[in-house]
Each structure stands twice: as C-alpha cells, then as structure tokens.
C-alpha cells in the first residue's frame, strides 16, 4: 500500500512539475551563472587536492542546486494547505509516509534532472571526471534533496503563511552554503573555519563528492559522506512523516 500511495502522489506532483516546464529549467539558472562567471576565475588558482578546479567546483554547485531548491519545496504545500488539498488527502486512508515520500521523490527527480543539465554544461566548460564519480554525485544530490525537502515540508506544515516561511528558510540556507564549503574547499581557510564547518552536515557530502569526481571511491571522506547522507535522510523523512500524521495546521 505504501508503494501504491507513494507512486500515486509521485505521479500527481511530477505531472504538476511537467506542467510548468519553464520553472523546471529556471531552477538551473543560478548554478549555471556560477558555472559561467565564477568557474573560470578558479581555473589557475591552487585549490589543494587533486584534479582541475572544475572537479572541485561542480560537486559544490550541484549540492548548492539541491540545497536551495529543496529547502524551498515547502512553499507549494503552504498554498495547498490554504486550498484544502492537504486536508482532503489526509482525510483519506492514504499512507502518511506515502504523502511525504511521493512529494520528496518528485523533488529528487526534478533536482537530479537539473543536476544532469548542469553537468552537461560543465562538460562544455571543461569538466573532465570519471562517469562513476559523476553518477555517485547524482546519488548524493538525490539524498540531499530527499532530506531537505522532507524538512522543508515539515516546517511548511507548521507555518501559516509564506511570509513566515521565506525568512526562516533563508536563515538556514545561506549559512549552510557558506559553512559547508560548496564554493571553495574549507581546507583553504583558517583552522577555526574548517573546524566550524565540520558541524555542518553538507560538508561531508561535498567532500565525498569531490573525491568521487577525481575517481577516489574508497576514502574516509566517502565513508563519512555516505553515512551522513543516509542518516540525515532517514532522520528527515521520519520527522516529515510525523508532521503529516499529526499536523494540526
């Protein structure tokens, strides 16, 4: 039944995404601008580690795409709450986990699709990386969006208006981006910043992805990255499902 319900909700929201193709492509715009106008600044800089500057930057941009995109996923559900759609679904026997999973899997699909477009653009710009590494990168983007979209829906179910939701999400997204070293590796910075960034879960994902992009799959970074990504997803989905089960709003 969970599978049936998840597939049903996934289908409904994927069709919704497909109806607004413009929005689907527009999401790639911000990371694409970074790729075009920020990427070339890095090509001759010593960034540490192996590989070209593109192998450092592109994993970060892909996670940034997931971070900003998925954190704002909750906006839609605020509108749906207002028009009674959420209640109409919650009053049926549909699985609460299915209500959440269908939505977040749709989000994961959209952001992995956008990540593919971004990697294609990066290949044109000069990225060279092993295919396996790139595929592992997509898996990380998928897990990150599942986690963050779940949390975003959970928060959105609790707030009343988009006006409350926006600033809250901005307060989370900016420090997350800066402190996880998505743009530049944190090892370049002073020790205190490097230490601080280890408290940011996305740091482990970006380190693992950068290893994958240079073909290093059996590293400590990779182990931590996988652990954090899976643990964070499990936690976020649990929290999200709880909210769908009990939401009073």
User: Residue 22 interacts with another protein (CB under 8 A)?
Assistant: no
User: Residue 82 interacts with another protein (CB under 8 A)?
Assistant: yes
> Would you call 1 exposed, middle or buried from its count of C-beta atoms within 10 A (0-12, 13-18, 19+)?
exposed
Q: Give backbone dihedrals phi and psi of 117, rounded to 5 degrees, phi first.
A: -60, -40
User: Residue 85 interacts with another protein (CB under 8 A)?
Assistant: yes
> Taking Cα atoms as reference points, which of 171, 233, 141, 183 lies closest to residue 193?
183
Q: Between residues 20 and 50, which has the closer beta carbon with respect to another protein?
A: 20
By the 8 A CB rule, do 63 and 206 touch?
yes
Interface pattern 143-162 for another protein (x via CB under 8 A): --------------------
Helix/strand/coil for 182? coil
Cα 204 off chain centre by: 14
Smallest distance, another protein to C-beta of residue 172, A? 21
By the 8 A CB rule, do 176 and 200 touch?
yes
User: Residue 249 interacts with another protein (CB under 8 A)?
Assistant: yes
Q: Between residues 75 and 224, which has the closer beta carbon with respect to another protein?
A: 75
User: Residue 24 interacts with another protein (CB under 8 A)?
Assistant: no
The span from the CA of 58 to the CA of 51, in Å, is 12
- The correct pick among 2, 18, 88, 132 for binding another protein (CB under 8 A) is 88
Sites of contact with another protein (CB under 8 A):
1, 4-5, 8, 12, 16, 19, 80, 82-85, 87-94, 246, 248-249
């Amino acid at each position: 039944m969970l599978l049936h319900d998840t597939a049903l909700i996934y289908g409904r929201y994927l069709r919704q995404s497909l109806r607004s193709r413009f929005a689907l492509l527009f999401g790639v715009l911000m990371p694409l601008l970074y790729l075009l106008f920020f990427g070339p600044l890095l090509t001759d800089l010593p960034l540490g580690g192996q590989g070209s500057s593109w192998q450092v930057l592109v994993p970060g941009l892909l996670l940034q795409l997931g971070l900003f995109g998925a954190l704002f996923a909750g906006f839609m559900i605020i509108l749906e709450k207002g028009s009674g759609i959420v209640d109409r679904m919650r009053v049926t026997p549909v699985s609460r986990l299915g209500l959440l999973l269908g939505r977040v899997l749709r989000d994961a699909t959209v952001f992995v699709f956008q990540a593919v477009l971004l990697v294609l653009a990066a290949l044109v710009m000069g990225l060279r990386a092993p295919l396996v590494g790139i595929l592992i990168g997509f898996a990380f983007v998928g897990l990150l969006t599942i986690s963050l979209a779940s949390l975003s829906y959970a928060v959105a179910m609790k707030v009343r208006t988009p006006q409350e939701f926006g600033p809250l999400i901005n307060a989370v997204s900016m420090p997350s981006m800066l402190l996880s070293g998505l743009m530049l590796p944190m090892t370049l910075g002073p020790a205190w910043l490097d230490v601080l960034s280890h408290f940011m879960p996305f740091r482990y994902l970006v380190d693992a992805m950068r290893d994958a992009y240079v073909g290093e799959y059996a590293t400590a970074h990779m182990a931590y990255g996988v652990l954090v990504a899976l643990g964070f997803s499990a936690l976020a989905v649990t929290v999200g499902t709880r909210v769908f089960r009990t939401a009073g709003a």
